[in-house]
Amino acid sequence: MLQRGSVRILLAHNSPYYPSLGGGDKSNRLLVAALAARGHAATVLARTVDFGQDVHTRLLLHLEQRGIAPESHSEDVRFTLDGADVRVFTRGASLRAWVAARMQEARADIVLTSTDDPAHLMFHTALALDKARVVYLVRAMIALPFGPASPLPSPARTEALRQADGSVAVSQYVAAYARQWGGLDTIHLPISLPDRASFPLLGAWDNPFVTMVNPCAGKGLAIFLALAAHFPHAAFAAVPSWGTTAADLATLAALPNVTILPPAEDIDDVFRQTRVALVPSLWAEARSRIVLEALARGVPVLASNVGGMHEAMLGMDYVLPVNPVVRYRPAVDELMVPVTDIPPQDPGPWVEALGRLLAGPAHYQELAARSRAAALRYARGATVEPFERFLEETLRAPRRRAAAPLPAARPAARPADHPADHPASPVHALSADRRRLLAARLKQRAVVEDRD
């Protein structure tokens, strides 16, 4: 086992870190917290969704409201969270240059990167370090540059991933996929850790809602809508997240038996109102954190039989068939999510399963109890120690590559509040009108978070 406090670990997180609502963001945060709790020196480099003075000021306010004392710097906000030193890029001329400078300062023994960095901005910068080992965390199938689940295959990025000193997946399914399609030596370890030591029992047959988090096309919005139409006297709830477009919200708001709940940092605020959780994803899910969170609280789940969902469901009933996504269009929506061709769906098995759970308390309570017991058993065994041992082995092994030169930073062609070296992203292919729509959506999300 690694000696406590002996390892400098840096998470390069190309996404919001805190506050954030995404499952991958939350899992990375819990993993870092667990490593810091075991005495390791943990540093996090992260970013906000958008950049500028308003974003910088808003983050400072969010942190202060949560009892965190942040430091304001010229390009970033710095604070301590769960024992980790966190620096968040909010404004400046070049995200790439900022990441490179902060990585050099940190002098980490190990840099953790993950699929929140699909353009490999942080990953490539980590590969160029002189001594650090680089470990890649595979949390999202849609962000991988290889295989049938990838919306944008890239042989060059796939080859770059093979230079990592290690690769760890969130499920057995994802590990096998990465080995088969990417040629990576990926293994599965528990890197999606429980969000607490004990879980409240929140599921109840008389809770009001059949709930879906992150309703959008790829997550199975079509099935949710079909169920809401088939059960007009049942109450449904939709919790918008990173994939929910303005059109999705308009469709949901038009249904008389659908309530739109605000996103919540504390998922208990959602589950204490939830009778049944729906996770009808149509694209390959790596594992789906929301499933375990629901089961552990005694909330029965209806989930699709895609990707790593079987593992997430822990052998429980109602892993249901869908007609999965097989093709992506060469476009993104206003939230920078790849546009999918959604094949026709048969809601019949979902109607039958939900009907059984809504028919009476006996079957519901039996399944809820079994689900909670299975999830609590799993949670007790899902600790950071196996990952810590993997890091120890990675440090003992030779590095897989010589340090590569950093790419030259491009000159800033825009004001400092709009980074010239913004990570490669499909948003730059959007029209001016669609970029304005994205900006409006981000401001709307900030208002929701202020209320939350």
Rounded Cα gap, residues 253 and 260, in angstroms: 7
Count of C-beta atoms within a 10 Å radius of residue 434: 14
pLDDT at res. 292: 95
pLDDT at res. 412: 33
Closest CA to 445 of 334, 329, 332: 334
Q: Which two tokens stand for residue 108?
A: 């980490």
Q: Which two tokens stand for residue 56?
A: 């910088």
Q: Residue 246 corresponds to which amino acid?
A: A
**Positions of the chain with pLDDT under 50:** 1-4, 403, 405-452
Rounded Cα gap, residues 259 and 126, in angstroms: 44
Q: Residue 89 corresponds to which amino acid?
A: F
Rounded Cα gap, residues 337 and 242, in angstroms: 8
What is the DSSP-derived secondary structure letter of residue 82?
T
Rounded Cα gap, residues 305 and 321, in angstroms: 6
Q: Using an 8 Å Cβ cutoff, are 262 and 452 in contact? A: yes
Closest CA to 395 of 122, 2, 41: 2
pTM: 0.85
Rounded Cα gap, residues 442 and 118, in angstroms: 20
Structure confidence by residue, pLDDT tens digits, 273-315: 999 999 999 988 888 899 999 999 999 999 999 999 999 999 9
Q: Which two tokens stand for residue 231?
A: 């059960």
Q: How far is CA 355 from CA 48, 135, 323, 359, in A?
A: 42, 45, 21, 6
Q: Which two tokens stand for residue 162?
A: 């093979």
Count of C-beta atoms within a 10 Å radius of residue 256: 6
pLDDT at res. 419: 36
Q: Which two tokens stand for residue 52?
A: 């500028």
pLDDT at res. 445: 37
Q: Using an 8 Å Cβ cutoff, are 40 and 6 in contact? A: yes
- How many CA atoms lie less than 13 Å away from 201 in the CB half-sphere? 9
Rounded Cα gap, residues 252 and 408, in angstroms: 46
Helices (H) and strands (E) in the chain, counts: 15, 17
Report all structural domains of the chain as residue ranges with CATH numbers, in order of start: 8-193+384-421 (3.40.50.2000), 209-381 (3.40.50.2000)
Rounded Cα gap, residues 183 and 307, in angstroms: 18
- 138 - beta bridge partners? 169
Closest CA to 165 of 330, 380, 409, 395: 395
Q: Which two tokens stand for residue 192?
A: 């999606």
Neighbour order of strands in the sheet with 76-81:
71-72, 76-81, 84-89, 41-47, 8-12, 110-114, 133-138, 166-169, 187-188
Rounded Cα gap, residues 341 and 219, in angstroms: 12
Q: Using an 8 Å Cβ cutoff, are 425 and 96 in contact? A: no
Rounded Cα gap, residues 133 and 393, in angstroms: 11
What contacts 245, CB < 8 A, 6 or more positions away? Answer: 216, 333, 334, 335
pLDDT at res. 333: 61
- How many CA atoms lie less than 13 Å away from 70 in the CB half-sphere? 23
Backbone angles phi, psi at 53, to 5 degrees: -65, -40
What is the DSSP-derived secondary structure letter of residue 112?
E
pLDDT at res. 430: 36
Rounded Cα gap, residues 276 and 256, in angstroms: 19
